[in-house]
Amino acid sequence: MRLTGQLLQIPCVVHPEAYPEKYKAKFLSYATVGHPGLLTKQGMDDCYDKYAAPPSDPEFSPQLYRSRQGLAPVYVQVCGADPLRDEALVYERALKENGVKTKFDIYPGVGHGFHIYIPQRKAGLEFVQDFKDGLKWLVAGAVQCTAPPAYPMSVCAHFL
């Protein structure tokens, strides 16, 4: 299968019970940021409880994979007032450190999924346009994923 990239839009990449020691001090947004009308720590905790996946399973928490080398390029969109913000920031940095090409956009002051509720406002329009541009960037890359067999295909083709 020829994969050109991963599109991580306001992603959840590691369960809070499985934060790697190396990054724990960087994961502050989960407990301190959120928007009551969009997503908060309590809302995420409820999702995790219902999903009931093992927190330390890399298929659920891809931040926990030991290596990210060989993954196709990644486009990441992050909201500044999102409980998931910091894990996305750390994940994007880890991808870069492992030689994965990334494109990254952050939207200060807005919460998780804001673009759904204010699609015609400047920030919503920017988010959607960046999404389209990011998708074009991924498709133009036409890179084959060479991730080791331990990676599920979903890690290589997340949302694409």
Q: Which residues of 23-56 are buried (b: 16+ CB within 10 A; e: fewer)?
A: beeebebbeebbbeebbbeeebeeebeeeeeeee
pLDDT at 12 over 50: yes
pLDDT at 149 over 80: no
How confident is the model over 74-120, as pLDDT tens digits? 999 999 999 999 999 999 999 999 999 999 999 999 999 999 988 88
Q: Is residue 1 part of a domain?
A: no
- Tell me the whole-structure pTM to 2 decimals: 0.83
Q: Is residue 95 part of a domain?
A: yes
Q: Is residue 94 part of a domain?
A: yes
List the one residue out of 98, 100, 99, 134 whose CA is nearest residue 10.
Answer: 134
State the pLDDT confidence band at 151, using cuts at 50, 70 and 90: very low
Q: Could you give the CA distance from residue 32 to residue 62 in angstroms, rounded to a whole number?
A: 23
Q: Is residue 80 part of a domain?
A: yes
In CATH, what number is assigned to the domain containing residue 59? Answer: 3.40.50.1820
Q: What are phi and psi of 73, to 5 degrees?
A: -55, 155
Mean per-residue pLDDT of the chain: 87
* Total count of domains within the chain: 1
Range from 20-24, 90-94, 108-112, 147-151 carrying the lowest mean pLDDT = 147-151
Q: Which domain holds residue 77?
A: 6-156
